[in-house]
Amino acid sequence: MEKKTDKKTAVIVGGSSGIGFETCLRLANRGWNVVNVSRTPCKSNKVTNIQADAADGAALCEAIKKAALKNGIALLVYSAGFSMAAPIEYAKEEDYKYLFEVNFFGALKAMQAAIPFMKKKGGRIIMIGSLGGNLPISFDSFYSASKAALEMLCRNAYTELKPYKIKVTGVLPGGTSTGFTFKRKVYSESEVGAYSGSVNKAVAALAHMEQSGMSPAQVAEIICSLVTMDNPPVIKICGAKNTVYRLFSRIMPEKVTLNINERMYDQ
């Protein structure tokens, strides 16, 4: 039988790139036993990799259970994500179902797998959402919908798991400069018909917003700061500008917010 170590185990789902990768590095440097669960490995010799697709609930659960065998799980960070630029009218069922499997149901499955290992000693669950779950992203409606669902899941989990000393936080970055921008599935002109010009403008505006936004390292630092807080927030907005923007969207009439949003994406 393998001897348990004193290191606490952090499981990062989607730690091979972007925010997840930067989080892996920082936690490992802070003395955590870090396990990355993703399709491709995290390229750090300080991180243990277990291969699993976030869209495959059964495989994801098995990977998390495997990560917990030695020393349980003290921290779960869910950072996997998928985005698609497509008009609602022409969006393909296979695409938006896959998106929800990765962005929402994968997060739910990961949470369900980790909770039993946290209930005795407590733990932390951090879900990477998006400001897009509060504010619509033109022609990326399914991404926004999935992140809105994830935020509500965090809110409910916070209440349900509080008696077990499991602290849940949803982290909402705004635009973040990662390779995620270039992995977005963008429907072709032949697939979007008359929406073509609008889709292209919206995709370009979103790409600019992301690539001129926060760095993944900055978001990862926020995540790591939450891990050490005695009383972390249920929802954490990344950056002062994004915090103000979200507050503005909540106090202004809905149509005003939507009109501003349309101008952002040049609709």
pLDDT tens column, 163-176: 999 999 999 999 99
Tokens representing residue 259 in the block: 């009109």
Q: Where residue 148 sits, what CATH number does that domain have?
A: 3.40.50.720
Instruction: Give the residue among 114, 130, 213, 220 at the shortest CA–CA distance from 168.
Output: 114
Please, where are the H alpha helices in the chain? 18-29, 57-68, 93-100, 106-118, 141-161, 180-183, 189-192, 196-211, 216-228, 240-251, 254-264
Percent of the chain with pLDDT over 70: 97
Note whether residue 1 is domain-resident.
no
Tokens representing residue 39 in the block: 């399709």
Residue 133 Cα distances to 103, 149, 173, angstroms: 11, 8, 10
Contact between 93 and 85 (Cβ < 8 Å): no
**Tally of domains in the chain:** 1
pLDDT for res 4: 44
pLDDT-derived band at 120, boundaries 50, 70, 90: confident
The answer, as to whether pTM is greater than 0.75, is: yes
Note whether residue 168 is domain-resident.
yes
Note whether residue 82 is domain-resident.
yes
Note whether residue 215 is domain-resident.
yes
Note whether residue 139 is domain-resident.
yes
User: Can you tell me the mean pLDDT for 138-150?
Assistant: 96
Give the type of residue at 51. Answer: Q
pLDDT for res 1: 33
Q: Rounded to 10 degrees, what is the CA torsion of 205, 247, 177, 261?
A: -10
Contact between 98 and 75 (Cβ < 8 Å): no
Tokens representing residue 149 in the block: 């669902």
Instruction: Give the residue among 49, 75, 39 at the shortest CA–CA distance from 183.
Output: 39
Contact between 85 and 186 (Cβ < 8 Å): yes
**Which residue range(s) make up the domain with 221?**
9-264
Give the type of residue at 105. Answer: F
Note whether residue 2 is domain-resident.
no
Instruction: Give the residue among 46, 59, 57, 61 at the shortest CA–CA distance from 15.
Output: 46
Which uninterrupted H or E stretch holds 24? helix 18-29
Q: Is 50 exceeded by the pLDDT of residue 2?
A: no
Note whether residue 55 is domain-resident.
yes
Which uninterrupted H or E stretch holds 12? strand 9-13
User: Can you tell me the mean pLDDT for 194-208?
Assistant: 94
Give the type of residue at 230. Answer: D
Q: Is 70 exceeded by the pLDDT of residue 3?
A: no
pLDDT-derived band at 6, boundaries 50, 70, 90: low
Contact between 133 and 151 (Cβ < 8 Å): yes
Which residue would you say has higher pLDDT here, 7 or 113?
113
Which residue would you say has higher pLDDT here, 136 or 20?
20
Which uninterrupted H or E stretch holds 35? strand 33-38
Q: Which residues pair with 167 in a beta bridge?
A: 124
Which residue would you say has higher pLDDT here, 251 or 216?
216
Least confident of 61-70, 221-230, 242-251: 242-251
pLDDT for res 31: 95
pLDDT for res 246: 82
Q: Is 70 exceeded by the pLDDT of residue 267?
A: no
Give me the phi and psi of 233, to 5 degrees please: -70, 155
Note whether residue 90 is domain-resident.
yes
